[in-house]
Structure 1
């Protein structure tokens, strides 16, 4: 788990750094840096359940918003037939940017969920 967490800690820092030219870096930099911090702590075998739950709530609410947003995930699937969102790094189409952001949240939630389950099982075994 240490390698897993150090890898994602590094990746989330890179993701945050790449947000400097995003239209809303003040939203996305903290999202990725918070996830990076939790991965850093997990790599050091530290687990704060409240911090994870706070992350799940914030990321989850924002992900649901990105699903139903006018240019969000559902719009990408239904109106744009799931067109390639990795074709170019320039998001000229709003549904491309919104869908990418949704998948970014899915990645963050997935990584934190893996850590959460791991540490909960570890605590149960030690109890």
Structure 2
């Protein structure tokens, strides 16, 4: 029951995240990223589980997260070069390292949500 509720929350949240990404320049990437996660969580909330899809999605998300971590003006630079400025101070990400850090943590959240399903079902 708790897992069903958690999956409903994740599904609704990920749909909302996809919606707010519609006006971004890279919406072609982020809307599908969030909608795939929403679909898998929604399916799990309805009792349908696709372990191979969890593995495929988690693999893609984590590989992309690693790329964001090590890229120029990525998460590593956000930490070492820029001193970890706030990610939520201004919601308009005008600096690439802020945008990449936000995307990195979004991918970790999605991966964690899908991993919960993979390892508990």
Shorter chain as normaliser: what TM range?
A: over 0.9
Output aligned runs, 1:107-122, within 5 Å.
107-119=109-121
Match of 1:54 in 2: 56
Residues 56-87 of structure 1, C-alpha deviation per residue, up to 9 Å, x if partnerless?
11111101101101011101000111110100
Runs of 4+ in 1 over 2 A off after TM superposition: none
Secondary structure at the aligned position of 2:116 is classed as: helix
| Alpha-carbon distance in 1 for matches of 2:30, 2:47 | 26
| Alpha-carbon distance in 1 for matches of 2:67, 2:48 | 31
Residues 86-126 of structure 1, C-alpha deviation per residue, up to 9 Å, x if partnerless?
0011111110000000000010001011111111xxxxxxx
Q: Structure 1: 5+ residue runs without aligned partners?
A: 120-127
Shifted more, 29-38 versus 40-49: the winner is 40-49
Match of 1:34 in 2: 36
Shift in Å at residue 54 of structure 1?
0.7
Count of aligned pairs: 119
When normalised by structure 1's length, the TM-score is 0.92
Output aligned runs, 1:1-127, within 5 Å.
1-119=3-121
| Alpha-carbon distance in 2 for matches of 1:85, 1:50 | 33
| Alpha-carbon distance in 1 for matches of 2:18, 2:73 | 23
When normalised by structure 2's length, the TM-score is 0.96
Q: Structure 2: 5+ residue runs without aligned partners?
A: none
CA RMSD of aligned residues (A): 0.7
Higher-RCO chain (CA-CA 8 Å, sequence separation at least 6): 2
| Alpha-carbon distance in 2 for matches of 1:108, 1:97 | 17
